[in-house]
Structure 1
Amino acid sequence: MTFKTKVTLLFFSMAAAGLVVLNAAIFYFVSQFNFEDFFKRLEARVNISAELRVSPDERSAVTKEVRNKYLEKLEDEKDYLIKLEPDGSLPETKPLQLPDVFFNAILKNNRARHVEDNRFYCGGLFKKGNEKYIVIVGASDPYGYKEIEELRKILIIGFIISLALVYVIAQLFSYYTINPLRNMIKGVRNITANNLHMRLEEKKGKDEISELTQTFNNMLIRLETAFETQNNFVSNASHELRTPLTIITSETELLLARKDLPEAARLSATNILNEAEKLKHILTSLLGLAQTGFDGKKQNWQKIRIDELLWQVIDHAKKIAPESQIQVNAEQMPEDENRLYTEGNVNLLQLALSNIVLNACKYSNYAEVSISITERNNWISVTVADKGIGIPAGEQQFIFDPFFRASNTNKFEGYGIGLPLTLNIIRLHKGSIGISSEENMGTEIQIMLPRAR
């Protein structure tokens, strides 16, 4: 889910919740006002009915005439008179059946209200001498309920329309809110190892977006400085370190060419030459490791057919180790050769695959090594499997760390640089490496590379 969608949903949810609360409040207060108004009208009728039936006098006739002439007759309006017992209790028989709570409230508070199935009741307690009476007026309010139902429909329709408007507003809100971030993403995507000098456009202001832009630009300055420093080191180290190594190697070879060289001196010179060659190899690997670790330039980037590259790797491996036994399993190889192409630097990929294949041969004591190629979902998979010494389970997570060597590799020559270099090369080609190994059973390494389109 994108951040824009999250903002839209958050805004929409909050606005929808607000609309629900607002509509509920409107419906509640209008309903309460409607009921309160109707109860007040009933209470007025209770007072009039009590004056006419409990304490009639010479004004009662006028009151009755005014009520009949000017007072609106409510729907199904009826009044009831209940005479209480001398002790103030209710009689056993009552003219209407209502809950005892209603009658008890009248006796306690002199007034009470009750609603039952859209019929409203209002009652009051009145005295005449030593006698007490309860006057109750009941009526229906169909018009009030009709108004409430109409209000409910209006609120529901308004709520639906408001939700549609809120969604449109949420989309616009999220678009203009995320637009600065979207522009930042476009700018960041254009910045690579080749153009670290580029910067994001800084806008005036002290908001979070401006602060984020400034922070990112400051980070780019530090990255550019670090990359330049590393680039200068890689460029200069190749010349500055190789030259004295070449001199040491040449002088040692000249020394070994002398026939009058004592045996002890010859042995020392041979050791010096071997160590110099090792140092040269380590230096070459380190420079390659550093270069592939930061250089994102697509130098000599071209389409490469993986199966042809593998045959070159196998030929190279057999030249280095003639005793190697390498078998290629072509059963799962796609018939369409166009599905075997990837894009990259052929020399770097050859170096990466050679490291994997040579390691498989070396650590299996040059037993049979199997290589297979498959293609699925636009990914080319190269699997190299051996039946060698394997890698201890607790050490497999460290095999791509520079200079790390497994505890069971003491009998084998190596520097712990080949696999880290291979990983950097594969990552440079937007691929990945997976490993499955069991000690004393063998190792299987799978290289995934994107297929060229």
Structure 2
Amino acid sequence: MEIAKKITLLFAILSAIIISLLSGFVWYFSNEFAFEDFYKRLEARVNIAAQLKLYEDDNNSVYAKMRNQYLERLPSEKEYIIEAGKPEIKVDIVLPKSFYNRINAGLMARYRTDNHFYAGKFFRNNKSGYIVVVSANDPVGFRELKDLQKILIIGFFLSVILSFVVGWKFSNYMLMPLRNIIKSVKKIKAENLHLRLDVKKGSDEMSQLAETFNNMLNRLETAFETQNNFISNASHELRTPLTIISGEVELAMKASDDSLKQHKALLKIKDESERLEHILTSLLGLAQSGFNGKNQPREKVRMDELLWEIKDSVNQVHPDSKIEIDFSSLPEDEEQLTLKVNKNLIKLAITNIVSNACKYSDYKPVNIILESKSNILSIAVTDQGIGIPESDVQHIFEPFYRASNTNKFKGYGVGLPLSLNIIRLHRGSIAIKSQEGIGTEIKVVLPIIG
């Protein structure tokens, strides 16, 4: 069943329950109090009948005259004078014992059967005690009660129908944004992943859903583009050393009598094999650091201590490197320097950045600044190297892409994409600022999550 139908049905059922309770409430109290005025009229007639028939008074003639002139005779009105102690004198029906018990207690008693009403009270004169009962019909009040019953029944069914219609309109109105999202999502396919959902202003659930879809589409589009670039570049990068190795093997086979040529060919094969191994290792690192949904093991790491380890690692690979670490902006609370990360991966990411800074600056001083503010930890790596041309900055995080001014430096264009994947895996980001011929600053921003 569709959500709109479920909402409509639930709305109609709840409305029916509420309306039925309200109708029952109205009916109960109407039934209880609808005849209150008629009972009072009967009770007045009980008192007048007792006065006229049980008491000898000079004013009885006046009472009788007033009754005849001002009190209309009720439909089927009857009077009964029952002497106390003679229960054999009956009224037109057998009244319940509770009726007489109330009279014996000195109170005015009431009783109704269908549309016939009774009121009675005990009176005592000089001779004996008497029970005076007056009965009559109330066709007007009974008819009004019947009319109210019909109105409530008709109103109940009309209200349920109306609530069903209103519920249907309401559910359609509330689900219209969701239907629009579904319709828009159905239009998005692999060939048009650049399309996005229209996000309305506000913080309601529909806006959040559309924004979540857009974020997912951003990741999917990035993944598709990365995959396409990865396959294209990887095939090119792998083909080059394999072609060289194949050519050198043929050359060595032809120069079977020339040991010098064979030696040079074998050295070339060795270099290209090492290059191929490095590329494959980098490709494996890229694959393992991607958003594959796997939970990487994490531990708490002091980032200031990790930077010293990174400095030592880079100095071992590049002994001529000059790395300076600036801790002048460190907070007093060491918790602001501690991150829960995968230590090996985060170390690899920052090491790649620092190593590139040393390599592309011809081993001029490289400055690392560690800061921690508002639950955000940042590591800024600044060099005085060749910089990155403005046209190349937007591509440097693409696998195997190398800037146009890096020809004299050995590299494979995998380090920065690998670092970006690792930083994103830790919910962080990388910002870059560079000027050709002056230097580059790469800032890694990571959230401090307890």
1:19 equivalent in structure 2: 19
1:224 positional shift: 2.6
2:411 equivalent in structure 1: none
Q: Deviations over 1:235-259 (max 9, x none)?
A: 3333444665677789889999999
| C-alpha spacing 1:75/1:194, structure 2 compared with 1 (3 Å) | same
Question: 1:128 and 1:254 mapped to 2: Cα distance?
Answer: 147
Amino acid at match of 2:219: R
1:201 positional shift: 0.9
Amino acid at match of 1:17: I
Q: State whether structure 2 residue 27 is matched by structure 1 residue 30.
A: no
Residue identity over aligned pairs, in percent, reads: 52
Q: Deviations over 1:403-439 (max 9, x none)?
A: xxxxxxxxxxxxxxxxxxxxxxxxxxxxxxxxxxxxx
Q: State whether structure 2 residue 198 is matched by structure 1 residue 194.
A: no
Amino acid at match of 1:225: T
Question: After superposition, where does 1:34-45 map in structure 2 within 5 Å?
Answer: 34-45=34-45
Helix, strand or coil for the counterpart of 1:72? coil
Q: State whether structure 2 residue 205 is matched by structure 1 residue 205.
A: no
1:145 positional shift: 1.9
1:180 equivalent in structure 2: 177
1:103 positional shift: 0.8
1:402 equivalent in structure 2: none
1:99 equivalent in structure 2: 96
Q: Deviations over 1:335-369 (max 9, x none)?
A: xxxxxxxxxxxxxxxxxxxxxxxxxxxxxxxxxxx
Question: 1:252 and 1:136 mapped to 2: Cα distance?
Answer: 131
Q: Deviations over 1:183-229 (max 9, x none)?
A: 11111112222222222111122322222222322232233333333
Out of 194, 212, 222, which is 1:225 matched to?
222
1:73 equivalent in structure 2: 73
Q: Unaligned regions of 5+ residues in structure 2, if any? A: 257-279, 281-286, 288-450
Helix, strand or coil for the counterpart of 1:76? coil
| C-alpha spacing 1:231/1:77, structure 2 compared with 1 (3 Å) | same
Question: After superposition, where does 1:354-373 map in structure 2 within 5 Å?
Answer: none
1:37 positional shift: 1.9
Amino acid at match of 2:211: Q
Question: Once structures 1 and 2 are overlaid, which stretch shifts more, 215-224 or 58-67?
Answer: 215-224
Question: 1:254 and 1:115 mapped to 2: Cα distance?
Answer: 123
| C-alpha spacing 1:104/1:187, structure 2 compared with 1 (3 Å) | same
2:338 equivalent in structure 1: none
Question: 2:106 and 2:215 mapped to 1: Cα distance?
Answer: 77
Q: Deviations over 1:12-33 (max 9, x none)?
A: 2233333333333333333333
Helix, strand or coil for the counterpart of 1:228? helix
Question: 2:138 and 2:254 mapped to 1: Cα distance?
Answer: 123
Question: After superposition, where does 1:37-186 map in structure 2 within 5 Å?
Answer: 37-85=37-85, 91-96=86-91, 97-108=94-105, 110-129=107-126, 131-186=128-183
Question: 1:145 and 1:248 mapped to 2: Cα distance?
Answer: 110
Amino acid at match of 2:232: S
Out of 219, 234, 237, which is 2:234 matched to?
237
Question: 1:53 and 1:254 mapped to 2: Cα distance?
Answer: 147
| C-alpha spacing 1:127/1:222, structure 2 compared with 1 (3 Å) | farther
Question: 2:102 and 2:253 mapped to 1: Cα distance?
Answer: 123
Question: 1:34 and 1:242 mapped to 2: Cα distance?
Answer: 99
1:172 positional shift: 2.1
Helix, strand or coil for the counterpart of 1:75? coil
| C-alpha spacing 1:65/1:229, structure 2 compared with 1 (3 Å) | same
Q: Deviations over 1:23-66 (max 9, x none)?
A: 33333333333222221221111111221223241112211222
| C-alpha spacing 1:93/1:241, structure 2 compared with 1 (3 Å) | farther
| C-alpha spacing 1:37/1:248, structure 2 compared with 1 (3 Å) | farther
Q: Unaligned regions of 5+ residues in structure 1, if any? A: 86-90, 260-282, 284-289, 291-453
1:125 positional shift: 2.2
